[in-house]
Structure 1
Amino acid sequence: MIRITSPSRLHLTLIDMNASWGRIDGGAGISLESPHITISAEKSEAIEVIGESLLKERIEAAVRNVLPEGQGIRIIIEEDMNTHVGLGSGTQASLSAAAAVNELYDLGMSVRDLAIAVGRGGTSGIGVASFESGGFIVDGGHRFSDKGSFSPSSASRADPAPVIFRHDFPDWNIVLALPDTQGAHDAKEVDIFRKVCPIPLNEVQEVSHIILMKMMPSIIENDIESFGHAVNHIQSLGFKRHEVKLQHQAVRDVMALMQESGAYGAGMSSFGPAVYGIVDNKEDAAYVMEDVQDHLDRTIGGRVIVTKANNSGADIREV
């Protein structure tokens, strides 16, 4: 039997939803230790997925995409995470299931091969790279001629985007708020891409400049103040500006509250509603966490946790 624990991820922003220079998408993100998905798996005569989870059907579908004909597998969902909250649960569930088949049947497939087989990474490469290696990641998007449209991963069959920068994320604390609501997904997500794209080129250029000349150097130099400033800045630019604007006011208020309570930077992951704040010590993290939890309790509900970056990717081991 094997056990796989995969990270979640923060998707900080898409970079280029203009495509006038021939590429589209691109993104920056951070792999997280928690929340995470944990499954155990062993060979079986049939396909069996055990556990109460909204990810159950996705796991079974991923298994069927890679399982050799006539073989079976028994998967137990030990831990899962919320769906459609901006943490990449779909990609991690699919890759975990596919990786279980790959290990048990010695298929020799790479993480990229598995992602292609299960249809993940068609817009953002952050989730696939998080599973593979963890850390802070910037991906280079896709050729627009290959993809052909502005669309989310759920509606794209493009291969996972290439990673153009990967570095261990510093040992900073990340306060993660999970409001009791869901972000856009499925048909609604597709419709948003159709309506707001292309993003003006000047905004794309500004986002690119911030990532290249502020966010990436701040990771290398362990400069939490500059990183926080970059996070704050991108919330009102490009595609991220539209993602934030779609949120319940209580979700937008969480970002402002985190900054007021001591976070160096606060932003929303993907289509939300997950909001993260970057702090440098446990005392500040506890203070921010308390303020945000009180806010959620008084408004739309939800929970707040403190986590850190995952700098190693999915943990796959025999048990």
Structure 2
Amino acid sequence: MIVRVSVPSRVHLTLIDLGRAGYRRNGGVGFGIAAPRSTLAFAPHPGVDLRALASCSYLPAEIASLTERLEHLMGQRQLTQGLRLVEVQLPARHAGFGTGTAVALASLESLFLLNDVSVSPAYLRAHCGRGGASGIGLSSYFQGGFIFDAGRRFNPAPIVGSDATDEVREPPLEMARLAMPDWPMGVLVPPGASAISLAQEQAFFAQRLPLPDADVFEITYHALFGTLAAIHACDYAAFCASINALQRYAWKRAEIDLHGPTVRACAAHLASIGCDAVAMSSIGPALIFWARDFDAAFAAATRQYGPSAVFRTRPDNTGRILSHD
């Protein structure tokens, strides 16, 4: 049997509570998008063979870490069947699409499917090693939609990104999941912008955090009373206003500045050609954009940046698709 998994990408709009003290740590808002997708196929194998990930810019240490996690679960759950990754196609890594979480969850879920063992989404979330900073990708993998994540209980330890977290001892708390309205949207991967390395991300977190209370309160207000409420009310104007506000304040502004003038110039150009809102996903550099006259804005963006950098997408409200043959 071959298990096939097709996973929508996730857009991460912002982390929320990055302060010195409080009730919770991290949290965030984001949603699934139908394209680009991560597609993987797994075949039965005596052990765990994920070497095919090297073709998608996975480093040897990353492959080894995920392999060890699956081997540990095989032993812990006394699974007799391993798996081999036989096909894989991923969006650009470290561009803001959540591929690390998609690959980890797809690998774990396929391992149990090949062993005909039923496990819950909660179990997979807790054992995939992801969600160190945000639970958006963990939630959108299973059901898609718009997610409001309240992070985990406050911990005074230094704040680090998901890729710098080896073990997640308390899964993020999903507070709300809503169907994302089908507002036309596009993706621009800014030409010339480079992915942020793990070392750069770690240094960035160490230098910029924790945030002052006033910044945390402002981000929380726009995420909760702006973005979440606008999705619930299907209020496009309020949604766009809150998205643009999140780009201007504290954390997201600093993430955008990591890329120098490149990403900011692209966002400004998208606004100039009629886009109502532009958001950088996660630590970037991918930009998501919305426009009432979407066809005109999309055509102008394509003329400016070329068809390889710009593509249409739409919300995903269903999550991963599993099949087997």
Which residue of 241, 257, 280 maps to 1:268? 280
Q: Which runs of 4+ in 1 moved over 4 A?
A: 56-61
Consecutive unaligned residues of structure 2, counting only runs of 5 or more, are: none
Q: Describe the SS at the equivalent of 1:179.
A: coil
Shift of residue 61 of structure 1?
4.2
RMSD, aligned α-carbons: 2.2
Tell me the residue number matched to 1:79: 89
Report the Cα offset of residue 27 of structure 1: 0.4
Pairing partner for 1:148 from 132, 157, 160: 157
Aligned to 1:53: 56
Partner in structure 2 of residue 286 of structure 1:
295
CA shift for structure 1 position 60: 6.3
**Residue 225 in 1 paired to residue 254 in 2?**
no
Shift of 1:142: 1.8
Decide whether aligned partners of structure 1 residues 302 and 188 sit closer, same or farther in structure 2, where only a CA change above 3 A counts: farther
Verify the 8 A CA contact 1:41 1:74 in the aligned structure 2. Answer: yes
Asked if the contact 2:81–2:114 (Cα under 8 Å) also holds between the matched residues in 1, the reply is no
Gaps of 5+ in 1: none
Q: Distance in 2 between matches of 1:286 and 1:312?
A: 25
- 1:26-175 to 2 correspondences below 5 Å: 26-49=27-50, 50=52, 52-55=55-58, 58=62, 61-67=65-71, 68-69=74-75, 71-145=81-155, 148-156=157-165, 157-158=167-168, 159-175=170-186
1:240-319 aligned at under 5 Å gives the runs 240-280=252-292, 284-296=293-305, 303-319=309-325
- Worse overlay, 239-248 or 177-186: 177-186
Partner Cα separation in structure 2 for residue 33 and residue 160 of structure 1: 25
Between the aligned residues of both structures, percent identity stands at: 28
Give the deviation of 1:26 after TM superposition. Answer: 0.9
* Distance in 2 of aligned mates of 1:254 and 1:318: 41
CA contact (8 A) 2:81 2:115 kept: no
- Is 1:198 the counterpart of 2:210 in the alignment? yes
Distance 2:320 2:179 in 1: 15
Deviation, 1:305, is: 0.7
Q: Which amino acid aligns with 1:16?
A: D
State the alpha-carbon separation in 2 of the partners of residues 14 and 36 from structure 1. 23
